[in-house]
Structure 1
C-alpha cells in the first residue's frame, strides 16, 4: 500500500474541516472588509512560525491570516504552514520553505492558479480550478515547472537534489532540458544540479514517509 493510500482518509477529513473554516472566514470578512473581494486564500493551519511579505512589508502569519495575490509566505525553522485558496487548492510548506502566489483567478469568466515554490519541502493538492481547467494550474520551482492534472503531490526543492513524488492524479515536470510525465501514484522524479529530470521511478515507502513528514502539520496529515 502506498503512503498516499494510507494517509488519504485523514488528509481528506482534515482538509474538509479547513475548507469549511475558510468558507466561514470568507463570509465574515466580506461583511466587514471592503478588501475581501481581493482576498484569495487564508492561512488554514500553522505549527511554529511563518511570515508573509506583502507590498515590501513583513507581517507575522497566524491561522486565519488572509492571503492575497503576490504574497510571499516564508516558514521558519521547525515550522509548518498550510495555505488554502478560494478554489480549495491546498499547499503545505515544511520548515524554511518559501511560496509565492503569482496568480489566482477564480470566477465565471476566467480561472488561473500559478504559484512558485522557491525552496524547501511542500505538498500540493489541487482545487476546483484544476478540476475544470487543469492546464490553468502550474507550480513553478527554480529547477522545473510542474503541470497539474487534478493532482496531489509532494516534493522538496534544494540546490543539491530536488525530488517530486506523485500521490494522486498526474503531473508533468518540465524545464528547458526536457519533460517527464508521472502517471502512477508512488512514482516520482528527481532533478540533479545540472537540471536533468530523471525518468519516473518508484519511491520507497520510507522515502514517501520522509517527504510527507516534512510537511505534516500534525499526526493526522502524515
Structure 2
C-alpha cells in the first residue's frame, strides 16, 4: 500500500512539474478559485470554488466578499472586501523564464499576493500596478492597500524592488 502511495505521489509530482513547465496557451485558464464568499466576481460573473480565471478578467469583491485564487505557477492571489484587480498578463514559461510576463492591475481595495514559480524564476517579469505605484517583487508575500490617491505595501516576506 505504501508503494502504491509512493508511486502515485511521484506521478503527481512529475505531472504537476511538467504541466507547470509548459507555457500557458492562449484562452486557457491561468488560475482557479480556491475560496469565494459573499459577492466575488470575474467580469461580473459570480465566482465559486473551482471557477477558472482567465487573462484579461477583472476580479472584484463586494462589501463582504473574499476571493482566494491559485494561479498556474502556484502563486496565490487574494482579494478582500470592496476590492478590484485586473489580470492584465499572466504568461508563465519555466522552460524559458525570459518569456514569463505577469501583470496585475489593482484598481482599489486590498490584495494579497504570494509569488509563484513564474515570479521566482524571472523577478523582473512580475508587476503589480496600482493607480499610483508599480510594485516589483522578488519571491515575496505582500499585501497592497490602494485607492485613487495612495498605495501602501505590507511586505510579509521577501524583497521588494
Equivalent position SS for 1:38: coil
The Cα RMSD (Å) is 2.1
| Partner residue, 2:119 | 130
Query: Structure 1 stretches of 5 or more lacking a match?
Result: 1-19, 27-34, 173-222
Residues 60-85 of structure 1: per-residue CA shift (max 9 Å, x gap): 11111001100111101111101211
Displaced runs of 4+ in structure 1, greater than 4 A?
Answer: none
**CA–CA distance in 1 between the matches of 2:79 and 2:141?**
14
Structure 2 CA distance for partners of 1:63 and 1:136, relative to 1, 3 Å: same
Say whether 1:62 aligns with 2:42.
no
SS of the equivalent of 1:70 reads coil
TM-score for the superposition, normalised by structure 1? 0.57
After superposition, residues 27-176 of structure 1 pair within 5 angstroms as 38-53=28-43, 58-107=44-93, 108-109=95-96, 110-159=99-148, 161-172=150-161
Offset of residue 169 of structure 1: 0.6
SS at match of 2:139: coil
Question: Take 2:125 and 2:49, find their aligned partners in 1: how far apart are those partners?
Answer: 28
Stretches of structure 2 that go unaligned for 5 or more consecutive residues are: 1-12, 20-24
Partners of 1:153 and 1:72 lie apart in 2 by 20
TM-score, normalised with respect to structure 2: 0.78
Q: Which has the higher helix share?
A: 1
Count of aligned pairs: 137
